[in-house]
Structure formats: C-alpha cells, structure tokens
Structure 1
C-alpha cells in the first residue's frame, strides 16, 4: 500500500514530464522550413524563455499558496507582478532614463529585483500579518492593490519623456507572443538564485501547509521561514514578469492542475508538476495555436479565459488547502 501510494504521484509526474518533452520537441521541429541555425537561435531563445516562465510562475504560485493556506490566492491575484512593473517605472523616475541607459541591463534587472523583494515583503506583512481576514476580503484587497499599482505605473509612464521610457525593458508590453529575450541570462541567474534559497527551507514546506500553530509546535520558526519563502516568491515573480509581462490567472491554472493531477499535497510532487503543467500549457499551446491550427488567437487570451473560469469555479466552491 505504501509503495502504491508513493508510485502513483511519481508516475503521474513522469507522464507530465513526457508530455512536456513532446511539446518542446514539437516546438522546435514542427513546420521547420528554413536554416536550422536560425531556428535554434529564434525558437531556442523563445523556448528557453517559456521554460523559465513556467518554472518561475509554477513554483512561485505553489509556494505562495502554501504560506497563505489557500489555493485561490496567487502572487498575480495579489498584485505582485504589477508591483514589479511599478518598480521599473519608479526606477526610471528616480534615476532618469539617461543615467539608467549607462547601466548594463542585467544590473538594472538586479536592482529592480532587490527593490521588488523589499516592497513585496512589506506588502505581504501588511496584508497577511495581524488579524485573520476572510478569503474574499484578501482577494478584494489583492485586486485593489493590483489596480492601484497598474494605475500608478501608467501615471509614471505618462510623466516620463518618451525617449526615456524607451529605455525600459518593455515589461508592460511583453507577452507570450512578444517575449522579452534580452534578459534571458539574468533571468536564468535570478531563477537559479531563487531555487538555491528555496533549498534552505525545502524541508519546512510540507510542515508549513499544516498551519501556523502546528508549524510552531514542531519547532519551525514560522515567521522567519515564511518571509524567506516570500522573498523567493518575489524573485520568481520578477523573473516571469520581465519575460512575459503580468499574467493574472496562469499561476492559478497550473498550480491547481498540479494538485488535481498528482492527488498529493506534498511539495516534492506539486512543485515539479506545476512546472511541467506550465510547460505543457505554454509550449504546447504555442505549438497548437501557431503551427497546428495556424490561428492568430493569442495564447494569453486562451490561458486567461481558462484560468478565469477556474477561479470562478473555485471561488464558488470555496476551495481551501
């Protein structure tokens, strides 16, 4: 019985891995009608960006739902991805476009990630510390925060000189179709750094999902560990946002697919399953829409529609972890 229960999530994750691999092979080979050097350069960079995005959004969403104890809350729903866009705009306002243009793009990205982590920790403490709030109130606060950050970003963009705003990395305009491939190296380094930091609290993840009181009784420094994991979430959100821009329901979709497909709350299964589900949705979706169906329908529209319907269904059922 123990062996069977152990093998079932492993086999399901393996199935997801095979499907993700087939999607990647199809992305690189379907409808290839030109030189392979160009294909490897163009499609290879896009594929790497999609893989980094799937890893960042999948892992950050599962971690965020672990520390908030809700399968409805995600960093995007709480406005953290739009917060990164605001950080980028504020950097241009404070330092000026001409001065930032002298910085290497990776250095600008590192500075923005550092500011993003500090602001995300502050926002997290404001929203989730103190009195216990209802789930519906938290969703409302998160959406209001996202709207506020978005409006402030647009206000800052209007204040900027057009030539200075062009120095921006293009996060507000980035999407699954127009991927920002200029910062692939810096994004990969930031993702690796977030993964290394996560290893420090890896053994605490399953304990955190049991609740604050049980976590403290088991000898885990709950507050410190939660803030550390939130810092990792902020780094991963920055990586995903700089590559494909803000996404609202994608993390909710792939995280809940991982929970449903693995049938296990253990993070050793849900984390890789969420990443693989993200790869299947992003890479497989691009192959299906662009190469198989030859459709001009944006992949983001399909994903956000599916995620939005899932959000409404979960909200009506009141799903809690």
Structure 2
C-alpha cells in the first residue's frame, strides 16, 4: 500500500486538531492587528489589513499548491519551487531593471497589468513544460521535475549574469525583489490575486474526491476509473497559477510549502485531503502571521519572517533527504 494511503482506522481527534489550529491562526491574526497599536485605528486597520490580506493569500496559495504537488508526485520532499518559479521571477525582475534602470521604481510598474503579466509568463512557462514533458508515461513526472531543476539553474545563471551588468544602485533595487516581503505590497493587486486564487480553488475543489485516489498511485487510480493524465495535468496547471500569484505578489518563497505540508501530515496523522489541506493552510497562517507579529511587535526586528521560515524549511528539507537516504 502506498505511504500516501489513508490509515485503516478512524481519527476522531482530527476535528479537534483542526479546531486547535484554527484557534491558533485566529489568535495570530488578532495579535497582528491589535498588538502595539497606537494612534488612529482607521489608519492602523487599513495598513495592517493590507499586509494581513497578503499573508493570508500567500499562506493559502503555498500550502494548497505544495500539498497537491506532493500528491501528484507521490513524494513529500518535493515542492513547486523545484520547477523554477522563484528563479524565473528573479530573472523577470532582472530583465526589467536592466531595460528600465532606475525607472523600474515608477509607480506605473506596480500596476495590475505588470502583476498579470508576471503571473501569465510564469504560468505559461510551466504549462509549456507540462505539455512538452507529460506524455502519460510512468516516469514523465520525474523527467518533468529534472527539466524544471535544469531550467531553474539556467534562470539563476542568467540572473547572475544580468546582475553583473547593472550598476550598484540598480542592484540594490533588484535585491529587494529577490526575497519575499510583505512591507511593500501594492494594495490594488490584492483583489486580482484573490479572484485568481478563488477561480483556481473552485476547479481544485471539484477534483478533491480524486486526490485521495491519486495518492494511492498511478496504477490504482487508473484501475478505479480516474482519468489520471487529465487530472494530473489540470492539477499541475492549478498549482502553477497558485504559485505564480504568490510569487508575483510578494516574491519567491522556496521551502515554506515543504514545512507546512509535512507538519500538516504529522499533526493530522492522515493523508486525506479534506484534513491535510485545511490543516496546511492554518499552519501556514500561524507561521506567517504569528511569525511576523513576533518579529515586528515583540522582538522589534526589521527582518521579514520569510527569511526565518526559509531557514527552518531548508533544515527540514535536509532532515527529510537524510532520513530517506538512510532508509
């Protein structure tokens, strides 16, 4: 039986665990909005509300896309970041800085058109890769991930080359875009990002009953009547959309999905998507919102929480890889 198969015994504690995660997430949100608040509440709620909305959107997109990606690849140490989304995003920003120079900071470049263009480019590249490599063969996913890693290395190399061509002032401006940040969010993009994620989620929700079957393996899913190739292709496209929206909104986040998805499996004690998906989203909210509150309001640090999360996620990745090699 696949390690992704649901356990044969019921898990009565699962709703309680989800409720506990929900309370933690609600507490993190409340603390972020109210802790240390002084002055005009209308300004505070509007300013913090925009950052909170961005963190909630990113938490949802990264958590859902990571769990679904691990389902179709049957591997818990893989994340959509392996497909090179973060490297492509950095390359796009580097090309814009090279072409526009200091004019890259123009307010017009933060328009919804630029956001949609970035999402379209990243999603289009991923869909071309899926269409080219996914032929229905058993090892197509492995080949796709290998090519995705190669393209990621190519994009990073091109970005490094461009960084050598620009002047130091432009490089400092580009460096701000190389890491996820919730402090410089264009509030006009939140509505577009929300609508895009809702559309992708509506399609994913219709496929939800199939994901538990997909987790059992390709042969079992086909024998149970699931259109394996079509379901996996559509899921990969939805994953590409979610990751592209998250990356274009705040910047690249590499190991965050690996961290929240594996914690969701461990806490829920199940691989059923009706449990792991909401658990992963709630854990992501706790980490992002709670971590940002701790850094900003308690420790008074200027650093973004994404740096800390990436460090912890990278350590978890090394632990999982080492454990798998020993087995």
Q: Give TM-score, length-normalised by structure 2.
A: 0.82
Unaligned runs of 5+ in 2: 1-6
Measured at CA, do residues 146 and 249 of structure 1 come closer, stay the same or move farther in structure 2, by a change above 3 Å? same
Does structure 2 conserve the Cα–Cα contact (< 8 Å) formed by 1:180 and 1:242? no
User: How many pairs align?
Assistant: 314
Structure 2 SS opposite 1:318: helix
Does structure 2 conserve the Cα–Cα contact (< 8 Å) formed by 1:194 and 1:235? yes
- Establish whether residue 69 from structure 1 lines up as the match of residue 88 from structure 2: no
- Equivalent position of 1:311 in the other structure: 317
State how 1:125-140 maps to structure 2 within 5 Å: 130=137, 132=139
How far apart, CA to CA, are the structure 2 residues paired with 1:171 and 1:200? 38
Of 177, 191, 196, the residue aligned with 2:202 is 196
Measured at CA, do residues 177 and 185 of structure 1 come closer, stay the same or move farther in structure 2, by a change above 3 Å? closer
- Establish whether residue 292 from structure 1 lines up as the match of residue 274 from structure 2: no
Of 24, 30, 36, the residue aligned with 1:31 is 36
Does structure 2 conserve the Cα–Cα contact (< 8 Å) formed by 1:83 and 1:116? yes
Structure 2 SS opposite 1:118: helix
Q: Can you list the C-alpha shifts for 1:166-208, whole angstroms capped at 9, x where unaligned?
A: xx9x993452343423411111111111111212312111111
How far apart, CA to CA, are the structure 2 residues paired with 1:5 and 1:62? 21
State how 1:119-268 maps to structure 2 within 5 Å: 119-124=125-130, 130=137, 132=139, 142-153=148-159, 155=161, 172-173=177-178, 175-182=180-187, 183-268=189-274
How far apart, CA to CA, are the structure 1 residues paired with 2:140 and 2:236? 19
Does structure 2 conserve the Cα–Cα contact (< 8 Å) formed by 1:73 and 1:139? no
Does structure 2 conserve the Cα–Cα contact (< 8 Å) formed by 1:264 and 1:270? yes
1:7 CA displacement = 2.8
- Establish whether residue 46 from structure 1 lines up as the match of residue 75 from structure 2: no
Worse-matched range after superposition: 103-112 or 49-58: 103-112
- Equivalent position of 2:4 in the other structure: none
Unaligned runs of 5+ in 1: none
How far apart, CA to CA, are the structure 1 residues paired with 2:128 and 2:95? 17
Structure 2 SS opposite 1:5: coil
1:266 CA displacement = 0.4
Structure 2 SS opposite 1:7: coil
How far apart, CA to CA, are the structure 1 residues paired with 2:301 and 2:176? 25
- Establish whether residue 9 from structure 1 lines up as the match of residue 14 from structure 2: yes
Structure 1 SS opposite 2:194: helix
Worse-matched range after superposition: 173-182 or 264-273: 173-182
